[in-house]
Amino acid sequence: MSALNIVFIASEASPLAKTGGLADVTGSLPHALKHLGHDLTVIIPFYRHHLQQAGITTTPMNQSIEMWADGMQRTCPLHQTECDGLRFILVEQDDLFDREGIYGPAGGAYEDNLLRFLLFDRVALEAAALLDRPVDILHCHDWQTGMIPVLLKTQYQHQPNIARAKTVYTIHNLAYQGYFPATWIHRLGLPSHHYHPEGYEFHDQINCMKAAIAYADALTTVSPTYAEEILTPEYGCHIEGFLRNHAYKLSGIVNGLDIDQWNPQTDTSIAATYGAGNIAGKKQCKALLQQQCGLSVSADTPLLVLISRLAEQKGIDLLLANAAQWVERGYQIIVLGSGDPQDEHSLHALADAYPSSLYFWRGFNETLARQIYAGGDIFLMPSRFEPCGLGQLMAMRYGTVPVVRATGGLKDTVTDHTANPEHATGFHFTDATPEAFDHAVEAAIAAYRQPHHWSDIRTRALKRDSSWEASAADYAHLYNQLLNR
């Protein structure tokens, strides 16, 4: 297999700028593809504020792209940096990207997001055209880069280095499609002859994700089950019919982890290191976590943990419906996350009511997250839908057994104890109800009360291969299929 020149274009990538799982994918999948022998470049906006926070140093490329947008000619300097051998190119435009939030203020979205990301898309295409050799694959992610496939086919065919590139578009979460008023079409010079129901028009609005679905050469999403789910009314977010028309080019490839970054045998953030053959350190991690969080220090008390955005999608209401009775039964609960103010208020109230049994940290703290993955016994992930999910992969990597709703990537990555006890790495429930969630947690607790049985489940979770290796090979196969058509 010859080395391909692959360019990832995304709105965020770890470790440069991150709000969630998208950044983990766009920061780690390219490394795995590089290990397969391909040339990789990742292009993201230059978020000055976030780069400073992350301690990332960049170098000016002494190249700028002139770009018209919304009645203004803009000069967009390019920067570059290298992280663990992976090259990043960054697009500077401080009035658009040097902001505290990547997509908006807390809980909201910037009104000029289409201007911000369409300008970025155009400059990213120009930057890709400046690379030393022609680009084989442009791999775009989520609505922020959804216009790239149609732009490439209509307005960038004069660029020889990218004109023949194939576009792959990954849907990380169909719920966020990028809707904007049609008045932006002429303000931003979008190809208006593709604004129709079979293009990027949706109920008299621009739909950025629909543009990519229509014009990308291949579509992927982040698990096989989610690829099936989004073709149904329940999960299709109102465009399931349009997706079914393009299902011939849709596939599901499950996400992975950077297993060097997420490794309980080397993690310096946790109280003691451990692995499948030497689990003693996990008991120390649990004791220190209980102590840090003001909980009663007890090796035998089941410790349930949850790390999540606090949103309806994540099934937080199912946790809140059960939390008090779980504490009354003698279990402990630790929650790390932020989001819906009412959910935050409810969790604070529970923590006040049960200070030695329930702890809530509002916000996100990566060091604490790692300590929770390491110190917990049971990881809760009751999502109503979950395209792939990384939390359950991280939990299993640290030997914390997941209880998950059987949806999307959760169903694909966690082997259910009831259905397959000899290979189980966790526990499933199907109905998005407090009762079904409680039943699954009680099944996990029953297993926890049998130390030898629990040890087997935990060891299988620890040994599960959550690396990018297999998935990267699937992406490479897809890329080559496109190029050999």
Given a contact cutoff of 8 angstroms between Cβ atoms, the answer to whether 151 and 195 are in contact is no
The answer for residues whose C-beta is within 8 angstroms of residue 111's C-beta and 6 or more apart is: none
Q: Which amino acid is at 244?
A: R
Q: Is the preceding peptide bond at 45 cis, omega within 30 degrees of 0?
A: no
The answer for residues whose C-beta is within 8 angstroms of residue 472's C-beta and 6 or more apart is: 29, 32, 33, 35, 36, 256
Whole-angstrom Cα distance, residue 115 to residue 185? 10
- Burial (CB < 10 A; 0-12, 13-18, 19+), residue 484, is exposed
Per DSSP, 425 falls in state S
Check residue 1 and give its pLDDT.
57
Whole-angstrom Cα distance, residue 61 to residue 81? 10
Whole-angstrom Cα distance, residue 235 to residue 314? 14
Whole-angstrom Cα distance, residue 16 to residue 86? 12
Given a contact cutoff of 8 angstroms between Cβ atoms, the answer to whether 264 and 281 are in contact is yes
Whole-angstrom Cα distance, residue 331 to residue 417? 21
Q: Which amino acid is at 50?
A: H
CA 259 distance to own-chain centroid: 16
Check residue 364 and give its pLDDT.
83
- Strand ranges inside 363-455, DSSP E: 378-381, 401-405, 427-429
Half-sphere exposure of 157 (CA within 13 A, CB side): 4
Check residue 67 and give its pLDDT.
96
Check residue 273 and give its pLDDT.
98
Given a contact cutoff of 8 angstroms between Cβ atoms, the answer to whether 65 and 111 are in contact is no
CB atoms near residue 445 (< 10 Å): 20
Helix (H, G, I), strand (E, B) or coil at 233: coil
Per DSSP, 205 falls in state E
List b or e across 57-71, with b for residues whose CB sees 16 or more CB atoms inside 10 angstroms: ebeeeeeebebebee
Half-sphere exposure of 53 (CA within 13 A, CB side): 14
Q: Which amino acid is at 373?
A: Y
Start-to-end Cα distance in the chain = 15
Regions in the chain scoring below 70 on pLDDT: 1
Q: Which strands, in side-by-side order, build the sheet including 218-221? A: 59-69, 72-83, 86-91, 39-45, 5-9, 137-141, 166-171, 218-221, 250-252
